[in-house]
Chains A and B, each alone.
Chain A
Amino acid sequence: KQEVTQIPAALSVPEGENLVLNCSFTDSAIYNLQWFRQDPGKGLTSLLLIQSSQREQTSGRLNASLDKSSGRSTLYIAASQPGDSATYLCAAVTDSWGKLQFGAGTQVVVTP
């Protein structure tokens, strides 16, 4: 059974620092991995989708890497801003229907 873990559970950094968020999964037979952002009381916003054949994806200040062999994905956010404060979730797809298996998330606070 797939287990998705995100460590740390919470992270606080000063504005301008780069953020590094970790996601690990126990079953390397994933189809893809998706990173989301969730603001308090709100829904999820998709940030990046990495297919199993890819090693990384980039969008603006965001870069996500995927290493299936080690069961890890990392989300990098460059030059963090207070507006980046949110909970970041990773989710792996391990069946062909596309259902997502989520980690518990990393709560990020960027202080001005």
Chain B
Amino acid sequence: NAGVMQNPRHLVRRRGQEARLRCSPMKGHSHVYWYRQLPEEGLKFMVYLQKENIIDESGMPKERFSAEFPKEGPSILRIQQVVRGDSAAYFCASSPRGTTLYEQYFGPGTRLTVT
């Protein structure tokens, strides 16, 4: 059973470009969480999705950031018009159920560098 997969592992974008980060959950998991780790800061929750639904996006910046988890395919975190402050490691985690009974399994992360 493959773990949570994220790609790309490293992404370099110039200011103003778009960044697309992909997350494929573990097999059988239909719940995805995205977290961001800014340099010298802890991990912060961004968004929680189920297939075709955004359940909680309370941690997402109000502008330029969006997330989706379509019926088929990976979950996508999209950052439009990136700025240097978006440089961070972005992690996704998956769970078989969106409840508190199950562990979240993390992917290796995508390290975004904005130049």
Interface residues of A (CB under 8 A from B): 31-32, 34, 36, 41-46, 49, 51, 89, 91, 93, 95-105
Task: Report if A97-B104 is in contact (Cβ < 8 Å); known contacts: A43-B91, A104-B42, A105-B42.
Answer: no
Interface residues on B, range: 20 to 34
CA of A102 to CA of B101 in the docked complex: distance in angstroms? 17
Residue of B35, B41, B98, B108 touching A100 (CB-CB under 8 A): B35
Residue of A41, A42, A43, A46 touching B103 (CB-CB under 8 A): A46
Hey, which chain B residues are within 8 Å of A42, CB to CB?
A: 108-109
Interface residues of B (CB under 8 A from A): 4, 31, 33, 35, 41-45, 48, 55-56, 59, 91, 93, 95, 98-109, 111
Hey, which chain B residues are within 8 Å of A96, CB to CB?
A: 99-100
Task: Report yes or no: A97 in contact with B56, Cβ–Cβ below 8 A.
Answer: yes
Task: Report yes or no: B103 in contact with A100, Cβ–Cβ below 8 A.
Answer: no
Task: Report if A99-B108 is in contact (Cβ < 8 Å); known contacts: A32-B100, A49-B103, A105-B42.
Answer: no
Task: Report yes or no: A99 in contact with B48, Cβ–Cβ below 8 A.
Answer: yes
User: Number of contacts between A and B (CB, 8 Å)?
Assistant: 68
Task: Report yes or no: B107 in contact with A43, Cβ–Cβ below 8 A.
Answer: yes
A-B contact pairs, 21 of them (CB 8 A): A31-B100, A32-B101, A36-B106, A42-B108, A42-B109, A43-B108, A43-B109, A46-B106, A49-B103, A51-B100, A89-B43, A91-B43, A95-B56, A96-B99, A98-B99, A98-B102, A101-B45, A102-B43, A102-B44, A104-B41, A105-B42
CA of A101 to CA of B56 in the docked complex: distance in angstroms? 14
Which residue among A41, A96, A98, A105 has the maximum number of chain B CB atoms within 10 Å of its CB?
Answer: A98
CA of A42 to CA of B111 in the docked complex: distance in angstroms? 10
CA of A91 to CA of B33 in the docked complex: distance in angstroms? 14
* CB closest chain-A residue, reference B55: A97
Hey, which chain A residues are within 8 Å of B55, CB to CB?
A: 97
